[in-house]
A and B are shown apart, each in its own frame.
Chain A
Amino acid sequence: MTTTTCLEALEAEAAHIMRETAGEFERPVLLFSGGKDSIVMLHVAVKAFAPAPVPFPLLHVDTGHNFPEVIEFRDRVTAGLRLEVASVQDYIDRGALPDVPERNGLQTTPLLDAIETGGHDAVFGGGRRDEEKARAKERVFSLRDEFGGWDPRRQRPELWNLYNGRHNPGEHVRVFPLSNWTELDVWQYIAAEDIALPSIYYAHEREVFDRRGMWLCPGAWGGQGERLVRRTVRYRTVGDMSCTGAVESTARTPGEVVEEIAASRITERGATRADDRLAEAAMEDRKREGYF
């Protein structure tokens, strides 16, 4: 039998992309948020370079409003790996960024500073083309100018599996190994490979409040004076607590999550991301400014 399943083909492609990057660039870095996509990306990286260690460090942009379960998970799975942390809270504390309730958009400056300070010429992101329509047009190797900006008209045509990583000094390339994966592929892979995730990806009871049809947990960004209710929920995406909503769910295992997503009629971002609901082109605008 010399057949290849869909998941095996996607995994082989992701490994190919990561090895191309390690072969062509001087100082790659892997963006690690503790979310499922970056965890899957790290899992593929470990396999792609085995038995040697992963030949690049990880970078986490910590908004200061991360779920404690995610930070605890991050510290556990990255023990023994090189982890750099760029702290949004530090920027706020020294007045370099405003202390606004929703911190997702604040990540761009610390991210670009960390890329520049680290001299990183390639930055792995867990973005997938099925997530959002600006991402549907994203390259696997996405060229960013010296301000980290993304210009859709300047992107190179990308043919076959030939990824052109050439760039000028000061520019860098964002690399998306999971470009062709869907949310369902990611979960099927997590189930097949038995990959550990932060507990909040699975159903649990939590006090939440309703904001524009999403369940948010209370904190500095809201919930005071609002009606809190106990719900059995899980998170489909894990980002900043101020803008990441939970969905009602009873799925407690990867297999149950796969079943739930296969039957879902709402996209991952539509269900859970307040920042993407702001405007039709919210993601496109953030990407132009240097966002993930």
Chain B
Amino acid sequence: MSALLRLATAGSVDDGKSTLVGRLLHDSKSVMADQLEKIASPSDLALLTDGLRAEREQGITIDVAYRYFATPRRRFVLADTPGHVQYTRNMVTGASTAELVVLVVDARRGVTEQTRRHAAVAGLLRVPSLVLAVNKMDLVGWSEEVFASIADDLDYPGEVTAIPISALTGDNVVTPSEHMDWYGGPTVLEFLETAEAGEDLTGLPARLPVQYVIKTRGRRAYAGQLTGGILHVGERVVVQPGGHSTTVAGIDVLGEPVAMAWAPQSIAVRLADDLDVSRGALISPAATAPEPTRELRATVCHLHEKALTVGEKVLVKHTTRTVHAVVEHIGAGGSLGVNDIGDVVVRTSADLAVDDYADSRITGACLLIDPGDGATRSAGMISVG
């Protein structure tokens, strides 16, 4: 179990997501007295997550906000994603780094079309675990039948755990409910504390995207963060682009020499042979190196008001490498508007060594960037083979 859990929240506007987040922070005693002064009653809990002046003035949430709380068992980084404005863009952003998603539904309405879309986005981003928080159980008479029919109604490619709650009264958020004897499972916080959602990155093939070359006294070390796997001194590795093979001569973990290093450590490696290695190169074990390609296939979420069109020139940012590319094909429709999701093929000006997103959420991910103004246009999940 990982000591740090990154999670995201999702839900429609009035399902009580902000109240749930406020309740989690409040009841886990993560809200300090000077912030608590603003909370006069449980219905004010949502105020704890309000951010910007523009949001308070318009009564909306514009952007993903990050919350931090801890219990004696675990530290949490929570990406709080707003429900209506730009929901796909915000949810994709929050889900991209999440190991678990808490999806809130209103027990009176059950699983709606928007709930299914949120679950589909979380599934597309490969968030391993989903908590379906069936909220407002107090308004359906704490009914087991209502809960059971909702809990069975959602398909998800990963693990799903349904929990009946009332964010307003606090039932089953941090403290077990006294109104739902029929429920024997964990509260939301108990589940978050014990979820095996943390991905074991060390089980993946080793990948070191080179960020920066550290030069000292004629020696070169290649600095980067291991995105997966374990790397040993003496191991045979391949450097892409180029495909030259060599041996790992030494590894430092932030200045300390070691015999082996593992994801997600930030390290620097020295190689036995004098190769041309610069920022954007990928170092991986010779036996499990990815195939280089110039034809990139990806499912993309388009995040920008300016539509993505066939024939358009873009920059592809993949790990530490950015290359020019042209959009060759966009499935169904031929263009993607803001918040659209579709399959895209781009042809790149140089080789990229990519993994399938299903195998790695880091070396299988990319951004499409506007070469003109530098805007992030789309987020891509790469398919290989």
Chain A positions within 8 Å of B, measured between CB atoms, are 2, 4-6, 8-13, 15-16, 19-20, 22-23, 44, 46-52, 129-130, 133-134, 136-137, 152-153, 155-162, 164, 166-168, 179-180, 182, 184-185, 264-267, 270-271, 280-281, 284-285
Q: Does B195 contact A (CB under 8 A)?
A: no
Residues from chain A with Cβ under 8 Å of B50 in the complex? 133
Residues from chain B with Cβ under 8 Å of A270 in the complex? 32-35
Output the least CB separation between A9 and chain B (Å): 5
Is the CB–CB distance between A160 and B3 below 8 Å? Answer: no
Is the CB–CB distance between B32 and A133 below 8 Å? Answer: no
Is the CB–CB distance between B65 and A23 below 8 Å? Answer: no
Is the CB–CB distance between B53 and A20 below 8 Å? Answer: no
Give Cα A48–Cα B211 distance, bound, in whole angstroms: 11
Q: Does B183 contact A (CB under 8 A)?
A: no
Residues from chain A with Cβ under 8 Å of B367 in the complex? 159, 162, 164
Is the CB–CB distance between A284 and B35 below 8 Å? Answer: no
Residues from chain A with Cβ under 8 Å of B264 in the complex? 4, 9, 12-13
> How many A-B contacts if CB must be within 8 Å?
167
Chain B positions within 8 Å of A, measured between CB atoms, are 2-4, 32-35, 50-54, 56, 62-68, 70, 75, 77, 89-90, 92-93, 96-97, 202, 211-212, 214-216, 223-225, 230, 252, 254-255, 262, 264-266, 279, 303, 317, 319-320, 361-362, 365-367, 369, 373-376, 379
Known contacts A133-B65, A270-B32, A281-B56; 19 additional CB pairs below 8 A are A5-B3, A6-B3, A16-B224, A23-B211, A48-B266, A49-B212, A49-B214, A52-B214, A129-B66, A134-B52, A152-B52, A155-B63, A157-B376, A159-B376, A160-B97, A161-B362, A164-B317, A164-B367, A267-B35
Is the CB–CB distance between B32 and A51 below 8 Å? Answer: no
Q: List 13 A-B contacts (CB under 8 A).
A: A4-B262, A6-B3, A19-B212, A22-B211, A49-B214, A157-B93, A160-B97, A162-B365, A164-B376, A180-B68, A182-B68, A270-B33, A270-B34
Q: Which of B212, B216, B369 contacts A51 (CB 8 A)?
A: B216
Q: Which of A4, A46, A168, A179 contacts B66 (CB 8 A)?
A: A179
A2-B32 CB under 8 A given contacts A15-B266, A159-B92? no
Give Cα A22–Cα B97 distance, bound, in whole angstroms: 23
| Closest residue of B by beta carbon distance from A136 | B65
Is the CB–CB distance between B34 and A267 below 8 Å? Answer: yes
Residues from chain A with Cβ under 8 Å of B369 in the complex? 164, 166
Give Cα A290–Cα B89 distance, bound, in whole angstroms: 26
Output the least CB separation between B198 and chain A (Å): 10
Give Cα A16–Cα B208 distance, bound, in whole angstroms: 12
A180-B77 CB under 8 A given contacts A19-B223, A48-B266, A271-B34? yes
Output the least CB separation between A73 and chain B (Å): 23
Give Cα A10–Cα B366 distance, bound, in whole angstroms: 23
Give Cα A266–Cα B34 distance, bound, in whole angstroms: 6
Give Cα A52–Cα B214 distance, bound, in whole angstroms: 6
Is the CB–CB distance between B89 and A157 below 8 Å? Answer: yes
Output the least CB separation between B315 and chain A (Å): 8
Is the CB–CB distance between B211 and A280 below 8 Å? Answer: no
Is the CB–CB distance between A51 and B202 below 8 Å? Answer: no
Output the least CB separation between B100 and chain A (Å): 16
Give Cα A252–Cα B119 distance, bound, in whole angstroms: 50
Q: Which of A44, A46, A50, A184 contacts B70 (CB 8 A)?
A: A184
Is the CB–CB distance between B214 and A264 below 8 Å? Answer: no
